[in-house]
Amino acid sequence: MKKYPIMVTIGLSFLFAGAVFAWVVIPEKIAAILLKLNTASAGLSTKIVKTELGDIHYLECGQGETIVLIHGIYARKEHWGEMARHLTDKYHVIAVDLPGFGDNGALHDDEYRIGRQKKNLLNVLDALSIETAHFAANSMGAYVATLLAHANPERVSSLAFVGSPLGVPNFIKSDMDLALEHGIKPLLVRSETDFEARMGWLSPNPPYVPSPILKTWLKSEIAMAEKNERISDVVHAQSTASTVLELVPTLAMKTFIVWCRFDRIFHVSGAVELAKRLKRSKLSVRDQCGHVPMLDRPIDLAAVYLAFLRGADYDQLSGH
């Protein structure tokens, strides 16, 4: 075994101890470093654009046609990181924190109505000088993107529902429906226990995320607990926009639906009905994933999404 001078050994020991101390005691700073390293490893740059709604944070990389990635409620741009790294060789990719979410400042409650969120997203696209793009969106973000595709079809080259969208009713009750009937709100976080439980609601096999990042996100969500509950009420109970099912028959652009068989939030029974109402649709029901497939199976999802963009036939897209 190779031996080191005693002072080198002591120095390395202190360095290791310092790293452990920082990992545990100052997780916010370590989380910021880890997130920057991860986005950098994917070739993504963290950027800010000024809008009427304040500074909007986003990730960007690549050249070619633009893909805009849009997260769901309480989510953030970094959730697209692992999928995005497999898209940037062929496309210009932007993953945005929707106004009022992620690293952006909170907005007035009314700004979270789905119709307002569509206008706010359009504001961001204008600030980024994005005239037209492919949109891939999850959950609430997919609802917002559908409204955009309906109102401004010239801005949307294609639309992908990545995981089940808000705005499609459950034809068979989902686990979340049953929980809500008993007064349980699985997506709201008020404690560390809630946070850990929600991971199980969103994913059958939650991906590894370093503890400093989890602790930082947990702290932020607990601090926003009351605001997030109001946001949930505005999004689900106060928004008056037409539903996704009502809107999609009007869409002429090509669309792609990726719905996971083990989605506990919105039952997979909605996937077929959604596909029926779309004029140019391809549906792929995937296994081993839940409500956020870009976290569960980012490589698989990137592959089928790229296949969809290049016009692959249904057989190539429907594999599990």
Look-up: residue for tokens 């599990």? 320
Query: Domain limits of the chain?
Result: 27-317
Q: How far is CA 317 from the centre of its chain?
A: 21
Phi-psi region of 100 (alpha: psi -120 to 50; beta: other; left: phi over 0): left
CB count in 10 Å sphere of residue 144: 29
User: Cα(75)–Cα(205) distance, rounded to whole angstroms?
Assistant: 18
Residue 315, pLDDT score: 54
Are 229 and 41 in contact by the 8 Å Cβ rule? The answer is no
User: Cα(67)–Cα(218) distance, rounded to whole angstroms?
Assistant: 29
CB neighbour list of residue 126: distance below 8 Å, 6 or more residues apart? none
Give me 82's structure tokens. 């692992």
Residue 317, pLDDT score: 65
Give me 91's structure tokens. 């496309």
Instruction: Identify the three-state secondary structure at position 162.
Output: strand
User: Cα(198)–Cα(188) distance, rounded to whole angstroms?
Assistant: 8
First to last CA, the chain: 49
DSSP label at residue 89: T
Are 170 and 267 in contact by the 8 Å Cβ rule? The answer is yes
Residue 3, pLDDT score: 42
How crowded is the C-beta side of 194, counted as CA atoms within 13 Å? 14
Residue 7, pLDDT score: 41
User: Superfamily for 27-317?
Assistant: Alpha/Beta hydrolase fold, catalytic domain (3.40.50.1820)
> How do the pLDDT tens digits run along the chain, 320 residues long?
444 444 433 343 333 334 333 444 456 788 778 877 777 777 889 999 999 999 999 999 999 999 999 999 999 999 999 999 999 999 999 999 999 999 999 999 999 999 999 999 999 999 999 999 999 999 999 999 999 999 999 999 999 999 999 999 999 999 999 999 999 999 999 999 999 999 999 999 888 888 888 888 889 999 999 999 999 999 999 888 899 999 999 999 999 999 999 999 999 999 999 999 999 999 999 999 999 999 999 999 999 999 999 987 655 566 54
Q: What is the DSSP string of 12-75?
A: HHHHHHHHHHHHHH-HHHHHHHHHHHHHHHTT-EEEEEEETTEEEEEEEE--SSEEEEE--TT-
User: Cα(243)–Cα(195) distance, rounded to whole angstroms?
Assistant: 29
Residue 27, pLDDT score: 62
Pairing between β-strand 156-165 and β-strand 92-96 as defined by DSSP bridges: unpaired
Residue 14, pLDDT score: 36
Residue 13, pLDDT score: 39
Look-up: residue for tokens 């009427």? 52
Give me 316's structure tokens. 């190539």
Residue 210, pLDDT score: 84
DSSP label at residue 307: H
Residue 234, pLDDT score: 96
